Amino acid sequence: MLKKLFVYDMRALSKLLIIAHIPLILLAFLLRFTIVDALSHLETNDSFAILAGALLVLFFCYLAVVAFLTEVYFAYYTYKNLFSDQGYLTLTLPATPAQQVGAKVLSGTTWILIDQVVIYLSCAICIAGTNTMSLILDEMQKLPKDFFQSFFGMSFSEIIAYFMGSTLVNAITAPCIILGALCLGQLFSKNRILIAVVTYFCYYFLVQIVASGYMGYQMASTANSAEIFAGTPYATTPLPGMKGLFILSTILCAAFGVLGYFFSNWCMRKKINLH
């Protein structure tokens, strides 16, 4: 039954989200050719550069909208499917609460991963031109060999690994947190959607506050260490604690994701109320 629920949810989510992601790919291809032309004609014609700049702004704005839309539409669909009038039909299916929750988490995770892959692919398309890649490689070669290690405290490969890992964890935990917030709203008789939205934003701001506090502490420690160890091999990096920040953020997301998942299962078994 879990497989059937997952397939149904994927079909329902894909109706809008596929359409929403197609323009991002088209913009990426358009931007890729305008950037190549801008680099080729930069000295003789600046109209290409102006067009490329305008498309670049549009591309990143739409990229942010699509990423936001993916999670918002998942939340909307989940609420509609489980907790609105449609929920009366959904919950009469021969499926356990764990299967209902599992299908939503799997479909949400799948689409968030698709969203991230499309975003990365679009960015790659933008810089896929020969001129663009040559320019990027030339600039990279000008950097000191230990630039990333000395500036971020991590090698370039470590940065990529941590970034990809945090992306994967976020894709898995985001649906759990969204579903947990929606279930929490169902414990109240009024303003359920508002409570769910406030709950999610409280989670978001809590993570930001903890991360900011951690970075602030690291910055203060760096300032003190820089005075003591200035000019020695023990001097700290300009952006300290980046590795710790990646790890801390990932742990927080994972912890809230696990909490949201088990809380959702508990609510679906014990406290669900569609009235």
Longest dimension (CA), the chain: 70
| 236 in a structural domain | yes
| 192 in a structural domain | yes
What is the CA angle 61-63-68, rounded to 5? 100
Of 184, 181, 186, 11, which is closest to residue 91 (Cα–Cα)? 186
- 179 CB-contact burial (10 Å; exposed 0-12 / middle 13-18 / buried 19+): buried
CB distance 151 to 237 below 8 Å:
yes
| 50 in a structural domain | no
pLDDT at 96: 86
Tell me, rounded to whole angstroms, the distance of Cα 173 from its chain centroid.
Answer: 10
| 10 in a structural domain | no
Q: How many beta carbons lie within 10 A of that of residue 204, not counting itself?
A: 12
Q: What letter would DSSP give residue 236?
A: P
Of 24, 255, 46, which is closest to residue 123 (Cα–Cα)? 24
Token readout for 201 is: 């934003």
| 226 in a structural domain | yes
> In which residue are the tokens 């995770």 written?
109
Token readout for 23 is: 């323009």
pLDDT at 130: 56
Those residues of the chain that have pLDDT short of 50 are 44, 224-236, 275
Q: What's the rounded Cα separation, in Å, for the pair 273 and 84?
A: 10
| 12 in a structural domain | no
pLDDT at 233: 45
pLDDT at 93: 79
| 259 in a structural domain | yes
What is the CA angle 63-69-70, rounded to 5? 95
pTM for the full model? Answer: 0.81
pLDDT at 135: 64
Of 259, 241, 171, 249, which is closest to residue 204 (Cα–Cα)? 249
Rounding to the nearest 10 degrees, give the CA dihedral for residues 87, 92, 97, 99: -100
How many domains in the chain? 1
CB distance 27 to 122 below 8 Å:
yes
The pLDDT tens digits for 149-160 are 666 667 777 788
CB distance 40 to 129 below 8 Å:
no
What domain range is 174 assigned to? 144-275
| 251 in a structural domain | yes
CB distance 109 to 101 below 8 Å:
no
pLDDT at 207: 86
